[in-house]
Structure 1
């Protein structure tokens, strides 16, 4: 049996294998860009400063183990129908939903919204817990707050009432 030895020979008329230049990374590093590259700034949403200046709607919902909750009355007021695209922003003690043509979230077929597990964790929203929902139709946004924030605000309000200083 010929050809089974330890030496390997090329068939006649063929070239030895070569690396393809386009697939080989350069041996030298490219210089850093002269202008630092930055992430695009997120659109800052307006927060409520005066609840008497515009309509504000409230509801309470329960988040299921998958992070979904339903708030049909608020979605109707916001005119968000199934398939409506949304951006989701996590703030301290809040998850903010707002309309965005390129949003990664959508309103579900049955009028449900989903909060991803990382967003729930950062905002303090526990699965299978109730959340306080605040909708501001004039600003096209819906905010989900954890019950701990609502309890804290109410405790502060009642403490001020006891001292004769009502804060609203």
Structure 2
């Protein structure tokens, strides 16, 4: 049985689609204020969900080294992906009919049109977050990371 067709996978896939929908804010503009990522409103009950992260630097080809995360996700070269940009973030979701595919087992590759829309530049340090339970990888731009830190500072300690 294909694990993508199991009842658990269908439920996870639906939740993954909710996550992607919650992260889509329309086209990024350099002058827009970046909103902190908040996924808490998606769940009405406790969900066992682990997230793994790595930091990497985007090269001229749009690649970021992410071998360990791709292995964790179980994504293999040639698998089909849907790739979207959203306010300084790039979302990768394994899909049945997306326009992109996993190009390498060593790198996450962000197409030029997507990284331009997300405002991610060559040489930029990015945070890559993998959410295996939802077949989702999120690349956060440096602007998003700075915004998250500033929001935490604004809220104060312990909040």
Q: TM-score range by the shorter chain?
A: 0.5 to 0.7
Q: Is the 8 A contact 1:89 1:96 kept in 2?
A: yes
TM-score, with normalisation over the residues of structure 1? 0.64
Counterpart in 1 of 2:94? 99
Q: Distance in 1 between matches of 2:112 and 2:135?
A: 24
Q: Distance in 1 between matches of 2:147 and 2:18?
A: 23
Structure number with larger C-alpha Rg: 1
Greater relative contact order (CA < 8 Å, ≥ 6 in sequence): 2
Residue 76 (structure 2) pairs with residue 81 (structure 1): yes
* Among candidates 127, 152, 164, match of residue 147 of structure 2: 152
- CA deviations on 1:74-133 (whole Å, 9 max, x unpaired) are 111111012222110111221100101222222223422321222112112111111111
Q: Is the 8 A contact 2:70 2:105 kept in 1?
A: no
Q: CA deviation at 1:147?
A: 0.9
Listed as ranges, the gaps of 5+ residues in structure 2 are: 1-13, 20-38
* Among candidates 113, 124, 134, match of residue 118 of structure 1: 113
TM-score, with normalisation over the residues of structure 2? 0.68
Counterpart in 1 of 2:61? 66
Count of aligned residue pairs for this structure pair: 122
